[in-house]
């Protein structure tokens, strides 16, 4: 693991080409403890625990110039910096600080003898955007968290371009997952990548179409992940169709496709909605203090309250979180309700003899109803017919997935963007994947960069207007590369 991957290759982030090294890194510590016992938490004496994670993201946009068709691709943060008189762009300097501040907070609390923890979820587009902006101070602050204090800061994998899994072609989502691993390893090192065990889906979006959900979990498992964060309102108990009864204990996310094939992964449930105040005011700590040990596989274990929120958006996260985080970490360190990271918590449970197969199952929402009307093996056409009939019978039934923004569809109303995205995806598969172009080919990297960048969720989240124009322009550039260079 001594080899160092270059971060920038031919002017682009390192997204592909060394899949062999990435796979070796992701399987290096398979079945071994890498977090448990390194930080002094005595899990045998605690009553409960809590975990927080900070999600950080900025899209890349074609806004480095007046003409959309020729403008260079820059970070949205750079655009905010250069146009601080528009809207909320005056927050850009604070955002810059937010991206690096855990690299200040955690070492400081460790120097006090405390036991800080934080999960960190940084999109690939953010990392690349920060680097091309020359904001090297962010990396100077973050790199020690990946290399020197890995038990205190747990990095979470994600999709490189912040693509939402329910409406991103499954073969592309796998490319996002691998691209993030490449990029992360190039920035922080292969050894740091080998400790990345959890996956944070962009927008907490979980597919519920059987075939898409199956491929989602299969991708995560084959890419070396051991657990995934899920929003409590996106999953159900297979037997009842109701939400999880013991939401503070780990589960198994079990996904079955229309052929009856099954893929499963450990699921950690993020409770409640998307309100950033939950993390900003360290609400999980106060919720966890009211809990005591619960029964899991015949053993009394501490429950885990888990929350994730944007790490920079909103006044609470920008202003209230820093002092509250320090206050709570100082108070809970050494207590019977400590802050922990998810992987060390899971390592503790498994050290007791609990197995993944002992964890209660969950499945994506609405699947109980679907399986009551469809038998695996009946085929894709029959599945499509059943889904369409159930949509007409039940106003609340859909196969668009779920996220922490369940009032927003990632499909309806975005046909003007999804169509060119799907066309570029199909063209990439035809010209690159099916043609056997090696991932080390510079043309592959250029086309992949624009494909992944155009699939960023922001181009749909913000609705119509310039953001859709950004997405369509990035699709055009990807198509141009694929048609002219291959």
State the DSSP code for 225. Answer: -
Distance CA 185, CA 282 (A): 30
Residue 396 lies in a domain: no
Q: For residue 423, what are the CA distances in angstroms to 168, 233, 413, 415, 441?
A: 12, 32, 17, 12, 22
Same domain as 200, residue 79? yes
Residue 382 lies in a domain: no
Residue 54 has pLDDT above 70, yes or no: yes
Residue 197 lies in a domain: yes
Same domain as 139, residue 33? yes
Same domain as 448, residue 335? no
Query: What is the helix (H) or strand (E) element at residue 145, kind and residue range?
Result: helix 136-147
Enter the pTM of the model. Answer: 0.95
Instruction: Give per-residue pLDDT as tens, 4-41.
Output: 899 999 999 999 999 999 999 999 999 899 999 887 89
Q: How many CB atoms lie within 10 A of CB 358?
A: 15
Residue 130 lies in a domain: yes
Q: Which of 299, 328, 363 is the last residue of a domain?
A: 363
Same domain as 419, residue 354? no
Residue 8 lies in a domain: no
Residue 459 has pLDDT above 90, yes or no: no
Residue 409 has pLDDT above 50, yes or no: no
Same domain as 462, residue 346? no
pLDDT of residue 53: 97
Q: Which domain range does residue 100 map to?
A: 14-363
Same domain as 422, residue 326? no
Instruction: Give per-residue pLDDT as tens, 218-275.
Output: 999 999 999 999 999 999 999 999 999 999 999 999 999 999 999 999 999 999 866 6
Residue 390 lies in a domain: no
Same domain as 437, residue 337? no
Same domain as 210, residue 64? yes
Residue 480 lies in a domain: yes
Same domain as 265, residue 178? yes
Write down the H helix ranges in 270-429: 277-280, 283-289, 315, 321-332, 342-351, 367-371, 380-393, 415-428
Same domain as 303, residue 188? yes
Same domain as 486, residue 355? no
Residue 145 lies in a domain: yes
pLDDT of residue 152: 96
What's the CATH number where 192 sits? 3.20.110.10
Q: Which of 363, 395, 421 is the last residue of a domain?
A: 363
Cα-Cα-Cα-Cα dihedral sign, residues 361, 366, 367, 370: positive
Q: For residue 309, what are the CA distances in angstroms to 51, 55, 231, 280, 387?
A: 12, 6, 12, 8, 33
Q: Which two tokens stand for residue 81?
A: 């910096």
Same domain as 218, residue 121? yes
Q: How many domains does the chain have?
A: 2
Q: Which of 363, 396, 424 is the last residue of a domain?
A: 363
Higher pLDDT, 405 or 98: 98
Q: What percent of the chain is predicted at pLDDT more than 90?
A: 84
Q: Are 172 and 163 in contact (CB under 8 A)?
A: yes
410: confidence class by pLDDT, cuts 50, 70, 90: very low
Q: What average pLDDT does this structure show over 358-373?
A: 95
Question: Average model confidence (pLDDT) for the chain?
Answer: 93
pLDDT of residue 150: 83
């Amino acid at each position: 693991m001594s080899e160092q991957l270059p971060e920038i290759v031919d002017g682009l982030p390192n997204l592909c080409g060394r899949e062999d090294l990435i796979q070796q890194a992701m399987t290096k510590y398979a079945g071994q403890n890498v977090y448990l016992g390194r930080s002094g938490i005595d899990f045998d004496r605690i009553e409960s625990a809590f975990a927080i994670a900070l999600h950080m993201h900025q899209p890349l946009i074609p806004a480095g110039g007046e003409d959309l068709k020729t403008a260079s691709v820059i970070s949205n943060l750079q655009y905010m910096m250069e146009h601080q008189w528009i809207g909320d762009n005056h927050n850009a300097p604070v955002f810059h600080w937010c991206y690096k501040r855990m690299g200040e907070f955690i070492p400081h609390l460790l120097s006090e003898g405390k036991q800080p923890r934080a999960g960190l979820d940084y999109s690939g587009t953010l990392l690349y955007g920060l680097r091309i902006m020359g904001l090297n101070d962010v990396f100077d602050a973050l790199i020690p968290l990946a290399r020197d204090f890995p038990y205190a800061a747990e990095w979470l994998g994600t999709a490189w371009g912040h693509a939402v899994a329910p409406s991103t072609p499954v073969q592309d989502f796998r490319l996002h997952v691998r691209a993030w691993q490449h990029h992360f390893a190039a920035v922080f090192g292969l050894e740091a990548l080998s400790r990345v065990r959890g996956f944070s889906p962009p927008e907490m979006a979980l597919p519920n179409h059987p075939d898409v959900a199956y491929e989602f979990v299969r991708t995560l498992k084959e890419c070396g992940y051991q657990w995934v964060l899920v929003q409590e309102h996106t999953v159900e108990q297979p037997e009842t169709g109701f939400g999880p009864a013991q939401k503070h204990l780990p589960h198994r996310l079990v996904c079955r496709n229309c052929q009856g094939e099954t893929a499963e992964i450990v699921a950690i449930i993020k409770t409640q909605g998307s309100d950033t105040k939950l993390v900003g005011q360290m609400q999980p700590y106060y919720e966890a203090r009211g809990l005591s040990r619960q029964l899991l596989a015949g053993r009394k274990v501490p429950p885990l309250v888990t929350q994730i929120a944007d790490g920079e958006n909103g006044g609470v996260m920008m202003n209230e979180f820093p002092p509250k985080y320090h206050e709570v970490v100082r108070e809970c360190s050494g207590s019977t309700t400590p802050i922990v990271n998810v992987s060390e918590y899971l390592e503790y449970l498994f050290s007791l003899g609990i197995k993944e197969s002992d964890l209660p199952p969950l499945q994506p929402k609405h699947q109980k109803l679907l399986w009551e009307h469809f038998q695996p093996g009946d085929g894709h056409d029959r599945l499509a017919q059943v889904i369409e009939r159930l949509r007409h019978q039940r106003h609340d039934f859909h196969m668009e997935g779920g996220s922490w923004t369940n009032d927003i569809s990632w499909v309806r109303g975005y046909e003007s963007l999804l169509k060119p995205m799907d066309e570029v995806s199909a063209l990439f598969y035809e010209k690159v994947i099916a043609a056997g172009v090696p991932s080390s080919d510079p043309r592959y990297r250029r086309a992949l960069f624009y494909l992944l960048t155009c699939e960023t969720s922001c181009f749909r989240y913000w609705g119509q207007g310039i953001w859709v124009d950004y997405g369509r322009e990035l699709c055009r550039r990807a198509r141009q590369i694929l048609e002219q260079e291959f």
